[in-house]
Structure 1
Amino acid sequence: MHDDQREVFHQHAAEGVLLLGGGAAILLQLADPRVARGVALHSDFRDRPLDRLVGTLDYVYAIGFGDDEMVAAVVDAVNARHRPVRSPAAEAGEPTYSAFDADAQRWVASTLLATALRLHERLWGALDAATADVIVRSYGALGSSLQAAREGWPDSRAEFDAWWGERVAALQVGDDARSVARSLLSGASALPFGSRALLPPIRLITAALLPPAIRDAYGFRWTPRASRTADAWIQAIAVVWPWLPRVVRHAPLHASLRRMKRRSRYAEHEPRGRR
């Protein structure tokens, strides 16, 4: 990626407000039965939702902002977590899955991109084509850094929108997806007390960012009042966010990078027998 393109991507991805789209991205990921089955059977997401969110956040920031050493470390860590996530055997009616499935990885990356684009434009208006194209190409590294080849990833916003529309139309929200979604958005006791108070607006914003058919499939009651309330939250955030100091707006990025640097230093000094 050229320096000017990297700068465009960094200006977009460094904004911590994009984390508001995390719930919508996860629900879209789970709408693929392969992903939902793997998460339902192999993840402790229900009991420790923040751990999964932090892990995803660290991976995204490392790929987008880290140096070669940090990228290699986070890819190794993700691969280690993914290795046992696969179908034990093909069962009738059950989706086969593997966390090393290149298409599934591409799908996960695409949900992060689609949600980020939608939230960015809900907050600050339509992106120009050149900027959107750079952002689309940049998100391809989230899959290609694992097992998903760069080939097949859209090269422009127009290509991505066409591909995305076809994939969303084919999604099937199943029982596994709805079960994990309830845990994510129910205010489970695993969440810190302070964060539970934010769940009502987060649920509204999450629903607002989902395609209507997916929102309905998850059982959201999307009334005109709910839509107006979600719009009001998004508009308020759009007004306030630019006035915040950069150190606040970029706090999740820098906290993540510091966390990964500490892990790297610990790994370097850890006795070989304990690794």
Structure 2
Amino acid sequence: MGRFHSTSLRRSAGTPLSSSTTVARVSTLRETGGDAILVAGGARAILLQIANPAVGAGVAAHSDFSARPLDRLHGTLMYCYAQAYGTDADRAAVARRVNTAHGPVSDAAGAASPAYSAFDPALQLWVAATLYDTAVQIHDLVFGPLPAPAADELYREYAALGTGLQMPAELWPETRSDFRAWFDAEVDRLDVTPDAARVAAQLLTLGQAPLWLRASLPVVRLVTAGLLPPRLREPFGFRWTPRQQRRFARMLRVVRVIWPAVPRGIRFLPVRYYLRRLRG
């Protein structure tokens, strides 16, 4: 990952470059990874994560989406933006925060649940993989696929989400095609356990959340169901009909027209917000 950090341009997301200034090339992750539209896939990524039984058991025991619905989102965004846009000090600080939060998240296998540890490199690989796969899916749906060289670079750079913690670099599949074969096989093995179903219900209802957040949930549920692998929709409680598919397709058509026209500085506002929050 040294290549990523050395070729990245240290500038605020959304800051225009002067044509008269010679600068280092901006990495693909920095060009795409801070776009706020990627947050639309957040619930999809979480559901994929918790459908891994070990992750699901850990999240069920140590997270509370009903009482603190945005904690995991805030933590994930801060970590991702620090890895992509932060300084070495930012990355060290956010890793300390994550490691502190992960400290209590472990347990031995029980009668109905697997052993888990938030420091398990294989589980960190799975979480990072769901974030990468979700981000690419959203980006391709809204902006269209990246050219192959840029897509390859983005894939290599996303490994930082795992290697920034305890995941050794060699766990990240070598190429995008290797990743796709591995990821699809992992999806086939996912199981929506009672723990995962309970966490998903909390996430998608948010009974104690502010009214403005609960008002957005019908859209969140539609987008999440539309992005999920079809075989996981029913186990997670989604009913997917031709009418819902048409609504999802209409929404995508509107977003494809409107979102790319939004100024980049607005689309990348979360990067600046979360870096300030981390540094503060």
TM-score by length of 1: 0.91
Instruction: Indicate whether 1:152 and 2:177 are aligned.
Output: no
**Equivalents in 2 of 1:122, 1:5: separation in Å?**
25
Determine which of 35, 38, 50 is the counterpart of 1:15. Answer: 35
**Equivalents in 1 of 2:62, 2:103: separation in Å?**
11
**Equivalents in 2 of 1:153, 1:46: separation in Å?**
33
* Pair 1:214–1:5, CA change in 2 (3 A): farther
Deviation per CA, 1:54-95, whole angstroms, max 9, x where unpaired? 0111011111111000100000010011011101x3323321
**Mapped contact 1:46–1:183 kept (Cα < 8 A):** yes
- Who is 1:186 aligned against? 205
Determine which of 230, 234, 243 is the counterpart of 1:212. Answer: 230
**Equivalents in 2 of 1:171, 1:12: separation in Å?**
29
SS of equivalent to 1:90: coil
**Mapped contact 2:54–2:113 kept (Cα < 8 A):** no
**Equivalents in 2 of 1:236, 1:196: separation in Å?**
23
Determine which of 175, 178, 182 is the counterpart of 2:194. Answer: 175
Structure 1 unaligned regions, length at least 5: 263-275
**Equivalents in 2 of 1:67, 1:183: separation in Å?**
35
- Who is 1:242 aligned against? 260
CA drift of 1:237 comes to: 1.3
- Who is 1:34 aligned against? 54
**Equivalents in 1 of 2:88, 2:145: separation in Å?**
33
Structure (1 or 2) with the greater helix fraction:
1
Structure 2 unaligned regions, length at least 5: 9-23
* Pair 1:38–1:5, CA change in 2 (3 A): farther
CA drift of 1:154 comes to: 2.0
Alignment of 1:69-218 (within 5 A): 69-87=89-107, 89-190=108-209, 192-218=210-236
**Equivalents in 2 of 1:14, 1:42: separation in Å?**
28
Q: Which amino acid aligns with 1:249?
A: R
Stretch of structure 1 that moved more, 240-249 or 66-75: 240-249
TM-score by length of 2: 0.89
Amino-acid identity (%): 46
**Mapped contact 1:59–1:74 kept (Cα < 8 A):** yes
Deviation per CA, 1:148-197, whole angstroms, max 9, x where unpaired? 1010212322121111111101111111111111111114222x222222
Q: Which amino acid aligns with 2:38?
A: L
SS of equivalent to 2:191: coil
**Mapped contact 1:208–1:230 kept (Cα < 8 A):** yes
**Equivalents in 2 of 1:37, 1:121: separation in Å?**
32
Q: CA RMSD in A?
A: 1.4
* Pair 1:212–1:257, CA change in 2 (3 A): same
